[in-house]
Each structure stands twice: as C-alpha cells, then as structure tokens.
Amino acid sequence: MSLSGENIVFGYHKKPLVVPFSFSVESGKIIALIGLNGSGKTTFFKTLMGGVPLLSGTIKWEGRDLKDLSFAERHKIFSWLPARKVIEERLKVFEILTFSISSDSFREDVLSQMDEVIRLLNLEEFLELPYHLLSEGQKKKVEIAALLMKKSPVILFDEPSVFLDVSNQLELVKVIKNLSLEKGKTIFISSHNLDFLRACADVCWEISDTNIFIDKDIQSAFARYFDK
C-alpha cells in the first residue's frame, strides 16, 4: 500500500469538493478518475502536487505524511501532465526533454535512461524538430516523455487522450500499460473518454456530488456513471 489517504477532504477554502473519504492504492495500479466538469478531478491532482492545500485528513506515501515532505520531495514522488501545457513553440524536442531534468551535464546512466524513454515513445526522428511542427499526437508523446524523465513513481494524467486519433490512443494505452506493468508506476488518469479508460484502468474512482465511489469493477462503474 504505497499511497493512502485517511478521511481526506480536498477542494478550496470556501468550497470543499468532497465529503471525507479514505483510500489506498497499490503501486503499479492504474486508476481511472471520472466525474463531471468541475467535480474536482484536477483539484485532486493539484492537491497531491502541493499546489492546493489539503483541507483535512492525511495523505501518506510509503508511510510518510505528505505534509512533512518538502516541495521538491513531493515533486520527486508525483508528476502531473495537465490537459493543456504551455510550451514555448520554438523549443526543440530534445530541449523539452533535457530542460525537465534541470542540469548542465548529464551522467551516462541518465543519458541512457533518456534514450530509453525516447525509444519507448518512438521519438528518435523528432528530437531536433521544433515543438510547433509536431502533430497533436506527437506533442502529447513529447510531453509524456518529458514527464517520464523525472522518474517519479506516481503519474497523474489529465485528459491524456484528448486531440489524439484512434491509433495514437491505442499507442498511448500501450505506453501507459507498460509503465504500470514494467516500471511499477502508479498512474491516475482523469478523463471523459470512457473507451480509453476501459482499455487502461484497473480501478475506477468516480467523483459525484462530493461523494467518491471507488470501484474495482470498471464496467459496472461506467454503467452507473452513464445512468446519471
């Protein structure tokens, strides 16, 4: 049980978005996060990242309270890919990847890990192209690659499949599955694309009217979601 929460309430000071709930997530699991616009999916991610303070309760990573971790330590555990990211257009792909590590020189092992991520996402031929020349699918892959450079064990995806065509979505499903199975990453995916989620997720969390329903049976969770 690597990530767990006890009686947590997240949201904003004047507007809590959920009633207190508890959870525990095993590492290597993929969690689908569904709910209407404004229900608090992104706020939950921001809370984990430390951008929004937790209103009450405790969240623990490997037994340590997140409150006791510094900003940098927190960002080593979690990385978040927002639905839209503002990346300077003229940057080349390899720059986006190296910038996310923040170093002047890279050790051999770091360099080979970078090459591994580049291979995983098939980005070799794009490395020296500027970002603005890429298609939406390629841009998304570059953003994911930059995220993976940070090697954090928990990854938060906000609408990763948006703008992607079917074949790119399938490729992304493979990458996400690979990350969870091979690398043991814990992955949260917030999305409205139920087909995409069905293909990836092990567990479903639904935020509905400040309640959180945690369901291991994806099909029935989606069916209930549809009924509303």
Give the residues lining the site for other proteins (CB under 8 A): 46, 49-51, 80, 82, 85-88, 90-92, 94-100, 102-104, 106, 111, 114-115, 118, 124, 127-130, 132-133, 146
State the nearest-atom distance from the C-beta of 48 to other proteins, in Å. Answer: 9
Rounded to whole angstroms, how far apart are CA atoms 128 and 105? 19
Q: Is 72 exposed, middle or buried (0-12, 13-18, 19+ CB in 10 A)?
A: exposed
Strands 56-61 and 64-65: antiparallel
Going 189 to 139 to 51 to 61, the CA torsion angle's sign is positive
Q: First vs last Cα of the chain: how many Å apart?
A: 32
State the nearest-atom distance from the C-beta of 81 to other proteins, in Å. Answer: 10
State the nearest-atom distance from the C-beta of 114 to other proteins, in Å. Answer: 5
State the nearest-atom distance from the C-beta of 187 to other proteins, in Å. Answer: 18
**Residue 56 β-bridge partners:** 9
Q: By C-beta, is 39 or 43 nearer to other proteins?
A: 43
Strands 78-81 and 203-208: unpaired
Q: By C-beta, is 97 or 204 nearer to other proteins?
A: 97
Q: By C-beta, is 50 or 137 nearer to other proteins?
A: 50
Q: By C-beta, is 80 or 222 nearer to other proteins?
A: 80
